[in-house]
Amino acid sequence: MNEWARRLALGAGIPLAIVAAGLVPYLAFRSDLPERVASHYGVSGQPDGSMTPEQLLLVVGVMMVLGLGMCAVVALGRHRFQPMVAPAMSFIGAFIAGLAAGILAMTAIGQRGLEQWQDATLSPWALILWVGGSLIAGAAAARIASTLPSDDLDDAGDIPPVMDLAPGEQVFSTATVSARWPLMLGLVNLILALVVTALAEPWIGMFLMLAAIAVTTFSRIRVTADHTGLTVRYGFLGWPRTSVPIHRIATARAIEVRPSEWGGWGYRGNLTLMNRAAVVLRAGPGLRLDLKDGKIFAITIDTPETPAQLLNTETSRLERTQGHA
Amino acid sequence: MIAIKIVLVIIEHMLWRIDTQSPQPLHEQLAGQIRHGIATGELAEGEKLPPARDLAAGLKVNMHTVLRAFQTLRDEGLLEVRRGRGTTVAADAKSNTRHVELARRLVSEARRAGLGNREIIRLVEVQL
């Protein structure tokens, strides 16, 4: 697909598909719906709020316009976005629109032929399909947006010289980044979770508790670089981990990381969906890897020159051995 | 005005390097590097070393080579090896490196002067 076909797919193709997914079942079953439809459900799955079908269409329509508007801005916008902005916006936009279309479709299919809205039930499978389908729509939009041209990063950095290594010499670089803010954030989250569990709905508390655990994985990160490539281990258990194998790396260099350029703090982006990913714990020096397929990975560490040199050395070593073979 | 600075991010790093073609045994090279790191402050007291398995994989050496280096340094009082909690630089490692270095110098000079093991031990004992 050329660039305009991709812009058309993001700005019109995906939106049309999403709107159709919601509107077709709605129009088909409109006459079979009760006077008011259930629009909100309690924790136990019992409906506890209702609207007329027209009101529902309006609410859902506003969500869809908002979401699809975000995709359209990315697809039709003449100016280039910062690298990770376009995929992130497209993902959120298509995801919101997908959720909206899903509400319309679920209501139309699930509540047709009911006498009154109180009889409505929710199937867990429909919920899974709803969220899953919306995530897929978001991922598809992000994937397309990531192929559109974007602004270059301000600081490309210099490629450091390779190390002076004897043929039998092996090098291994380690860096441990301990950050306090994820622990503090996790603690606040945990307190919030306990309060919510005690006072209100336990499942929201559970969700917050998972978020508290997730955020603490960024409190300790170990970065190692060697002949196999770059490995990043998160948390006190060293799991999960991210690896960039040496054969995928084209160049490594030291850069200044500005969180705004990478979409904020934490693990930002996604190599598959957005062509870029970064582990950002602070502003300042970082290591940037340009992969052979044009994707970019970055991580904030001190003295990134050392692993950058090491990886460039191992990359050229690998090329030399492959050249001989 | 009092400025309060909270350290939000702490970073420790080290470059490990060994030469498989050097006549010096690999475990000695590794131990020497850790000693040097402690002496220069590159490895801070209390700092956790990478797991032996990772270090061995990264440097393409046998894990026993790494463990042997760790053991030597533990005996010198530079490392603390605790089961399940990893290997850390001992709390008083930096001052210990100096004593270890002095002892090494004493032994090598005494050897050159023709003294045997027992005589060298006696030399130290007399000073106690």
Q: Sketch the domain layout of chain A as residue ranges.
A: 3-146, 173-179+218-324
pLDDT for B3 beyond 50: no
Chain A nearest-CA distance from B6, in A, is: 9
Can you give the pLDDT at residue A324?
A: 63
Contact B13 A178 (CB under 8 A): no
d(CA B124, CA B114): 16
pLDDT digits (tens, 9 = 90+) for B35-73: 988 888 888 888 888 889 989 999 999 999 999 999 999
Work out how many domains chain B is built from and give that number: 1
Higher pLDDT, A58 or A221: A58
Domain assignment of residue B16, yes or no = no
pLDDT at B4: 43
Q: Domain A173-179+218-324 is in which class?
A: mainly beta
Q: Tens digit of pLDDT for each residue in A267-288?
A: 888 888 888 899 998 888 999 9
Q: Classify the C-alpha dihedral A205-A208-A213-A219 as positive or negative.
A: negative
Give the dihedral sign, CA A234/A81/A293/A4.
Answer: positive
Report the SS3 class of residue B44. coil
What integer best gives the mean pLDDT of chain A?
88
B6 domain residue, yes or no: no
- Whether B109 is covered by a domain: the verdict is yes
In angstroms, rounded to a whole number, what is the distance separating the alpha carbons of residues A138 and A158? 35
Per-residue pLDDT, B2 = 44
| ipTM associated with this complex | 0.71
Q: pLDDT: is A83 or A186 the higher one?
A: A186
CA angle A6, A8, A11 (to 5 degrees): 110
B77 assigned to some structural domain: yes
CATH number of the domain encompassing residue B101: 1.10.10.10
- Tell me which chain B residues have a C-beta less than 8 angstroms from the C-beta of A172: 15-17, 55, 58-59
Q: How far is A171 from chain B (nearest CA, A)?
A: 4
- Kindly determine whether residue A303 and residue B60, on different chains, have CB atoms separated by under 8 Å: no
Distance CA B87, CA A178 (A): 17
Mean pLDDT, range A122-132, rounded to an integer:
90
C-alpha pair distances (Å), A217 with each of A86, A232, A233, A300, A301: 27, 12, 9, 15, 16
Spatial separation of the C-alpha atoms in residues B78 and B74, rounded to whole Å:
6
Q: In the prediction, which pLDDT does B24 show?
A: 92
Assign 3-state DSSP to chain B and report helix, strand, coil percentages, each to 5.
Answer: 50, 15, 30
Per cent of chain A over pLDDT 90 is 44
Q: What pLDDT was estimated at residue A155?
A: 61
**Interchain contact, B9 vs A180, CB within 8 Å:** yes
Look up the domain containing B52 and give its range.
Answer: 26-127
Q: What percent of chain A has pLDDT over 70?
A: 98
- pLDDT of A292 strictly over 90: yes
The answer to whether A244 and A230 are in contact (CB under 8 A) is yes
| Total length of chain A | 325
- Residue B111 resides in a domain: yes
Cβ pairs A/B, distance under 8 A: 86
List pLDDT tens digits, range A131-155. Answer: 999 999 999 999 999 888 877 666 6
The reply to whether B118 falls in a domain is yes
